[in-house]
Amino acid sequence: DYKLNFRPSPDIRDASRIEALHERVANRIFDVFERNGGLYVKMGQVIGTQSAILPPAYQRRAKRLYDSAPALPFEVVERVFREDFGGLHPSQVFSEFEMMPVASASIAQVHRARLHNGDVVAVKIQKPAILRQMNWDLWAFRILLQVYERLFDLPLSFASDYIEEHLRMEADFISEAK
């Protein structure tokens, strides 16, 4: 769309045409992030934070990614919990565990629970396949940025290291817990 329709012009009347182009492209890109979910939503969020280099249409569209993370059904939460806790069910670890999450984000959701000593805690459950998909998804993202950089002469690949580092930190729950 940019290659075919972007024509810089000093005429102020062309500004709305260029803004409409930014809007179309931003919607296409962020629709892909939303449809793929998980790590892609997180990538879109990280890209959206680069407000200094992106047109306003991208910034506006990226905001929707912060509210679009659906919650996992409890059956999935239970399966992930059992995998992480040696087969134990949440009811075996906590005196109470709320089935409905208090928050759901791109790579995890949070459930309220009560320890046997009475303390209330937040239990962060990572969405399935995030870690298994991460290497492949980040590799594909890096290649895509390099292709776009060559095709459209846009400096994009510099951001891949920053995005990868940020995503890996977000998905490392052991480091986060420490």
Q: Coil, strand, or helix at residue 106?
A: coil
Phi, psi at 95, each rounded to 5°: -75, -25
Write out the two tokens for 116.
């046997």
pLDDT tens digits for range 48-81 = 776 667 888 888 888 777 765 778 899 999 999 9
Q: What is the pLDDT of residues 129-155, one digit of tens each?
A: 787 788 888 888 888 888 878 877 777
CA-closest candidate to residue 158, choices 53, 56, 63? 53
Furthest C-alpha separation in the chain: 69
